[in-house]
Amino acid sequence: MTKTFMERAVDWGRRKSPWIIHFNAGACNGCDIEVVDALTPRFDLERLGMLQQGTPRHADVLVCTGAVTLQTRDRLKQIYNQMPEPKFVIAVGSCACSGGIFDGCYCINGGVDSVVPVDAYLPGCAARPEAIIDVVNKLLKKWEEKQKEE
Amino acid sequence: MNQRITIPIGPQHPSLKEPGCFTITLEGEKVVSAVVGVGYNHRGLEKACEARTYIQDMYLIERVCGICSHTHSTAFCQAVEALAGVEISRRAAYIRVIMAELERLHSHLLWLGVAGHEIGFDTLLMYSWRDREKVLDALALLGGNRVNYGINTIGGVRRDISPSECEQLRSMLDFIEEEDKYFIDLALHESTLAARLGGIGRLSYEDALRLGAVGPVARASGVPTDIRVIEKYAAYDEFPMEVITDEHSDVFGRAVVRVKEIMESIKLIRFALDNLPDGELKVNVPRRIPEGEVLSRTEAPRGEDIHYVRSNGTDKPDRVRVRAASEANWHSVAHMLEGDYLADVPIIIAAIDPCYSCTDRAIVLDHRDTGCQQVLDWEALRRYSVDFYRERGFDAKSIKIPERKIIR
Ligand code: SF4
């Protein structure tokens, strides 16, 4: 399938400036702070064209931290469903990857992938901002390659 | 005609990083009543603590909250040390103080940025978070990690501070001091900030006492409460301390208290570095902790943090209860919101420096309309669990709960 010029332009725009939304599904706050940290002067994710968005309807990438609690499970699904296609999910922190230290607690559903499909996993407790930049970068590269193949 | 509208905010919302739900009833632009709904972050930590040994619990307790992790682990360690009847060395106590004050520095700078963001003053966010990185560097230098430093262990601390690290700390402190002078100047003399923050989220002295506010929120209403002074845990008995209070009783007052506390923390760390005593880092604590129960308090950046630990003579605690500072402050938030404008809601909520992961411990549901109250006392809870398991073919009646022994 060949893409029209307009479609290619949109793809390029998306790749160069993915908007992210951050959702805390039950994290200890450590990873959330590091995600926000990545957006502030020292690390400055905006260099890669990233912008944090308030609403899922504007976002391309869902950055999810923390093990999913029973309370947030449905909210996470809702937010995921509200995002427009194509969408990506990054699980930031050990908790988000597998449930981490909270795995087995009575109020924990599991990692993020127990609720929504995850594209990139970033372990670490807490994940460092450098790692967050790296994972975003890798995700974009992978996407670029996939688009070239199409 | 005034029509009342109810709007829900949250749990995912643009202004805060964590999930919390606020149901706000408006009359025009004014808030008539506000209901705070928390609990999205409840993970069942206290229960998990009961199933693990004390050493494993240390790691769990640190992750109650990523921002004030050191406070929580200090409170827990103190409780276990008191139960085991050991005294930590002075050096270990000093290192705990240094970490606690560094944590306060980073937490207050973080708050300043978040508050700036809430009122559309993003420059302040970028400035204060830039400076906060220096503090995080120092924490990483001493603890090995930027967030959950893991410096505490039962019986002392895990890492020492070398002379060269002291020097690096000192130069970091000089930098933060210069920057904080600017922030104090900004908070006290910048007219736009005073106009935006003054007069909103009022909490009078009486209300602060009545609603049980703690930490900077209470101090901004003129209540001189500070566990570091009241209880002098760790090494605080040797430190010259000044409790910072303010009479504004509004969001502006809370900002003033916090920027001034940064200065105070810098002084405390300098004092600790100058007077760091020699000694062992860690004393040995037996794995099995004798029976007893203890309440331990520390002053978190957000206020009083209470840990209750009950042991039963094994290597696992019988009950752990965490009452974090934000949990105490939520009651005043609903009160503060009433009568203010909708546009002020985010900053008023942010002004208590809320921490949901701290707050979301056990939840009590009070269904006033239906008259059904799900508050179970210890005995009722036990009866309930006995019945629950009997239905499933397991008789828990045969298990005896040890008598509680109170130590003073
Ligand atoms: S991975 Fe660690 S720092 Fe991150 S949310 Fe989980 S416990 Fe907190």
Tell me, yes or no, whether B254 and B373 share the same domain: no
**What's the CATH number for A17-149?**
3.40.50.12280
Binding site membership of A122 for ligand 1 (Cβ less than 6 Å): no
Q: A10: how many CB neighbours lie within 10 A of its CB?
A: 12
Under an 8 A CB cutoff, do B43 and A67 touch? yes
Binding site membership of A99 for ligand 1 (Cβ less than 6 Å): no
Task: Determine, yes or no, domain membership for B358.
Answer: no
Rounded Cα distance between B91 and B310, Å, is 27
Residue in B39, B66, B125 closest to A29 by CB = B66
Task: Determine, yes or no, domain membership for B25.
Answer: no
Kind plus residue range of the DSSP H or E element containing A65: strand A61-65
Rounded Cα distance between A88 and A118, Å, is 7
The tally of domains found in chain B comes to 2
Residue B377 belongs to domain spanning: 366-398
Tell me, yes or no, whether B372 and B306 share the same domain: no
Residue in A22, A24, A126 closest to B146 by CB = A126
Tell me, yes or no, whether B163 and B259 share the same domain: yes
Name the residue with the closest Cα to ligand 1, atom 2. Answer: A125
Rounded Cα distance between B91 and A147, Å, is 59
Tell me, yes or no, whether B216 and B80 share the same domain: yes
Tell me, yes or no, whether B311 and B377 share the same domain: no
Domain boundary among B328, B353, B380: B328
Backbone angles phi, psi at B144, to 5 degrees: 95, -5
Binding site membership of A95 for ligand 1 (Cβ less than 6 Å): yes
Tell me whether residue B226 is exposed, middle or buried, using C-beta atoms within 10 angstroms of its C-beta: 0 to 12, 13 to 18, 19 or more.
buried
Task: Determine, yes or no, domain membership for B10.
Answer: no
Query: Is residue B337 within 8 Å of residue B31, measured between CB atoms?
Result: yes
Rounded Cα distance between B36 and B23, Å, is 7
Q: Which atom of ligand 1 is nearest to the CA of A31?
A: 4
Residue A80 DSSP SS3: helix
Non-local CB neighbours of B156 within 8 Å, separated by 6+ positions: B88, B89, B92, B280, B281, B282, B283
What whole-number percentage of chain A has pLDDT above 70?
99
Tell me, yes or no, whether B144 and B55 share the same domain: yes
pLDDT digits (tens, 9 = 90+) for A92-146: 999 889 888 888 888 888 889 888 889 999 998 888 888 988 898 888 888 888 8
Question: What is the per-residue pLDDT for B407?
Answer: 41
Tell me, yes or no, whether B283 and B375 share the same domain: no
Under an 8 A CB cutoff, do B17 and A22 touch? yes
Rounded Cα distance between B83 and B60, Å, is 19
Residues in A touching B56 (Cβ below 8 Å):
none
Binding site membership of B66 for ligand 1 (Cβ less than 6 Å): yes
Tell me, yes or no, whether B211 and B261 share the same domain: yes
Under an 8 A CB cutoff, do A40 and B44 touch? no
Question: What is the per-residue pLDDT for B404?
Answer: 47
Tell me, yes or no, whether B313 and B392 share the same domain: no
Task: Determine, yes or no, domain membership for B352.
Answer: no
Task: Determine, yes or no, domain membership for B377.
Answer: yes
- According to the 3-state scheme, what is the secondary structure of chain B? CCCEEEEEECCCCCCCCCCCEEEEEEECCEEEEEEEECCCCCCCHHHHHHCCCHHHHHHHHHCCCCCCHHHHHHHHHHHHHHHHCCCCCHHHHHHHHHHHHHHHHHHHHHHHHHHHHHCCCHHHHHHHHHHHHHHHHHHHHHHCCCCCCCCEECCEECCCCCHHHHHHHHHHHHHHHHHHHHHHHHHHHCHHHHHHHCCCCCCCHHHHHHCCCCHHHHHHCCCCCCHHHHCCCCCHHHCCCCCCCCCCCCHHHHHHHHHHHHHHHHHHHHHHHHCCCCCCCECCCCCCCCCEEEEEEEEECCEEEEEEEEECCCCCEEEEEEECHHHHHHHHHHHHHCCCEHHHHHHHHHHCCCCHHHHCCCCCCEECCCCEECCCCHHHHHHHHHHHHHHCCCCHHHCCCCCCCCCC
Distances (CA, A) of B175 to B168, B169, B171, B172: 11, 10, 6, 5
Domain CATH number, residue B135: 1.10.645.10
Alpha helices in chain A (DSSP H): 5-16, 30-37, 70-82, 94-98, 129-149
Backbone angles phi, psi at B13, to 5 degrees: -145, 155
Which positions in chain B have a beta carbon within 8 angstroms of at least one beta carbon in chain A? Answer: 11-15, 17-19, 39-45, 47-48, 59-60, 63-67, 69, 110, 113, 125-126, 129-130, 133, 136, 145-148, 355-357
Q: Which two tokens stand for residue B373?
A: 């109250």
Backbone angles phi, psi at B202, to 5 degrees: -70, 140
Binding site membership of B63 for ligand 1 (Cβ less than 6 Å): yes
Give the residue among B271, B203, B262, B283 at the shortest CA–CA distance from B235: B271
Under an 8 A CB cutoff, do B133 and A42 touch? yes
Provide block-wise average pLDDT over 10 residues at a time, chain B (408 residues).
Answer: 76 67 83 81 84 89 87 91 90 91 90 87 88 89 86 90 90 90 86 85 86 88 86 86 86 89 91 90 89 89 89 89 84 84 84 75 52 60 76 66 47
Task: Determine, yes or no, domain membership for B8.
Answer: no
Tell me, yes or no, whether B257 and B384 share the same domain: no
**Gap from B136 CA to chain A (nearest CA, Å):** 11
Query: Is residue B337 within 8 Å of residue B35, measured between CB atoms?
Result: no
**Mean of pLDDT values over A30-40:** 86
Beta bridge partners of B309: B294, B320
Rounded Cα distance between B189 and B318, Å, is 52
Beta bridge partners of B366: B373
Domain boundary among B305, B328, B351: B328
Complex prediction ipTM = 0.88
